[in-house]
Amino acid sequence: MTLRVAGIQMPVTCDIDANRRYIEDAISWASSENADILLTPEGSLSGYTHLFDPADAQAALREVTAAAARARIGLALGTCFVEGSDGKTYNQLRFYQPDGRYLGFHSKTLPTGAMTAEPVGELNHYAIRPLQSFQFERRRIAGLICNDLWANPTCTPMPDPHLTHLLAGQGAQIIFHAVNGGRSREEWSDVNWQFHSSNLRMRARASKLWIVTVDSCEPVGIRCSAPSGVVDPSGDWRCRTRDTGVDRFVYTILA
């Protein structure tokens, strides 16, 4: 049983139309590489903000999912979105089968916030739904979003529930991990990079599952906040993108 996974390390901005074009180009590329599913970064369609235009995001989502269905490419699509069922805003990773069938979404479970008595940050802007996994083709897969995986101790005011372990307990074999982390040219950005990279490897090894991960590359002249690529259940990188700028990867998981 194989699954050919692809990822696009792209600049995520608040320009929904520009984001959509990047994703549609990536869908075409993934199709030419015979990929089964494409992963995009956190907030890659709407922009990484709770201040996006819901109508524009919904229209762009219709176009992107139609393009993927035409190309027979599954999606693990990062976007912020207002759900019609409850009117709440979620930071999501949305899953679609190659035929366009919608499987559901993972909502960011460890939103970041200040380490203060009354935390402020993205945790004030997004709703959360229970953790779940999905059947994609013949695989049990799941999603995590950025801090969900590593629970950065500088910005996670809640306990770390070790979500990779919980998902492995649900039978997940592959976790798709959408990232949009802060970065700068300061030394502390390198500390974060090392922490994120180590966590990807250690948590894959501890939970004995595959992790497919991709970060935004905005701003394009600064190294991303985390590596993009594929980590195997032993905690070894099987493929990696460049650390800076737009890049893509494709890899066939054999298991």
pLDDT mean over 70-85 = 97
pLDDT of residue 249: 98
Instruction: Specify the 3-state DSSP secondary structure of 191.
Output: helix
Q: Count how many Cα atoms sit within 13 Å of the Cα of residue 101 in the half-sphere of its side chain.
A: 7
Q: Which pLDDT tens digit goes with each residue over 26-72?
A: 999 999 999 999 999 999 999 999 999 999 999 999 999 999 999 99
Q: Phi and psi of 78, rounded to 5°?
A: -85, 125
pLDDT mean over 242-253 = 98
pLDDT of residue 255: 67
The rounded mean pLDDT for the chain is: 97
pLDDT > 70: percent of the chain = 100
β-strands 174-179, 139-145 pairing: parallel
pLDDT of residue 1: 76
Q: Which pLDDT tens digit goes with each residue over 8-35?
A: 999 999 999 999 999 999 999 999 999 9
Within 8 A by CB and 6+ apart from 153, the residues are none
Position 109 pLDDT exceeds 70: yes
pLDDT of residue 111: 97
pLDDT mean over 206-226 = 97
Tokens of 10: 């792209």
Position 191 pLDDT exceeds 70: yes
Q: Which pLDDT tens digit goes with each residue over 115-133?
A: 998 889 999 999 999 999 9
Query: Domains of the chain by range and CATH?
Result: 2-254 (3.60.110.10)
Which band of pLDDT confidence, cut at 50, 70 and 90, is reported for residue 87?
very high
Q: Which pLDDT tens digit goes with each residue over 127-168?
A: 999 999 999 988 999 999 999 999 999 999 999 999 999 999
The beta strand positions in the chain, using DSSP E, are 2-9, 37-39, 74-82, 89-96, 102-107, 133-136, 139-145, 174-179, 210-215, 229-231, 237-240, 247-254
pLDDT > 90: percent of the chain = 96
**Preceding omega of 219 cis (within 30 degrees of 0):** yes
Please, are residues 215 and 235 in contact by the beta-carbon 8 Å criterion? no
**Prediction pTM value:** 0.98
Tokens of 178: 């959408």
